[in-house]
Amino acid sequence: MPPSARETLDLNLPSSMDYLSLVNGVAEEIATRLEVDEALKDTLTTAVIEACTNAIEHGNREDPSKTVKIRFEYDAEAFSVTVTDEGKGFDLKLVDDPVKPENLLRERGRGIFILRAFMDEVNYRFDPAGGTTVQLVKNLGAKAQTAS
């Protein structure tokens, strides 16, 4: 049964791509707990993986001595995940649109686009002291929708 009160789960891990499969497993377990359907489960786990990939790759430059902090907060109404790295951040305005025809064959540059397509809220916070946090929110209530 989905939790009646809002629950919080923290996962702090070394910055290596090798941990993506562990993160995927944790996100799937939480989605199972929330009793969302398979499509929504895929949406949530994909978004979590994209945010963590960026934190590990761009934020912490795959330095395993740096930590990526993931906080999941959820109840039957909403799923939120906050991913924080120790990096210098970036300029959101410089992020290209991957579905422009001239960008379609680029190998990279689809992560943030997928986050925005899949989730209801995507908020970046750049800490002047260093560190990037992205918060993703998906509504699970009556109005909840899956990606497709």
Partner 1 sequence: MNLKRVDRGDVTVLVLSGKLMGGPDSVLFQDMIKDLLGADRKNLVADLKSLSWVNSTGLGILISGYSSVKNAGGVLKLAAVASRIESILMITKLTTVFETHKTVDDAVESFGGE
Ligand X SMILES: Nc1ncnc2c1ncn2[C@@H]1O[C@H](COP(=O)(O)OP(=O)(O)O)[C@@H](O)[C@H]1O
Binder of residue 59, out of partner 1, ligand X, a copy of itself, none (CB less than 5 to 8 A by kind): ligand X
Residue of 3, 29, 32, 39 that binds partner 1 (CB under 8 A): 39
d(CA 49, CA 27): 9
The yes or no reply on residue 102 touching partner 1 (CB under 8 A) is: no
Distance of CA 127 to the CA centre of its chain: 18
The yes or no reply on residue 98 touching partner 1 (CB under 8 A) is: yes
- x-marked contacts with partner 1 along 41-80 as a string, rule CB under 8 A: -x--xx--xx--x---------------------------
Burial 74-91 (b: 16+ CB within 10 A, else e): bbeebbbbbbbbbbebee
- Beta bridge pairs of residue 74: 7, 79
Shortest Å, Cβ 116 to partner 1: 10
Question: Can you give the C-alpha Rg of the chain in angstroms?
Answer: 15
For the beta carbon of residue 111, count every other beta carbon within 10 angstroms: 18
Report which residue's Cβ sits closest to ligand X.
111
- Interacting residue ranges for partner 1, rule: CB under 8 A: 17-18, 20-21, 24, 38-39, 42, 45-46, 49-50, 53, 98-99, 104-108, 110-111, 113-114, 117-118, 147-148
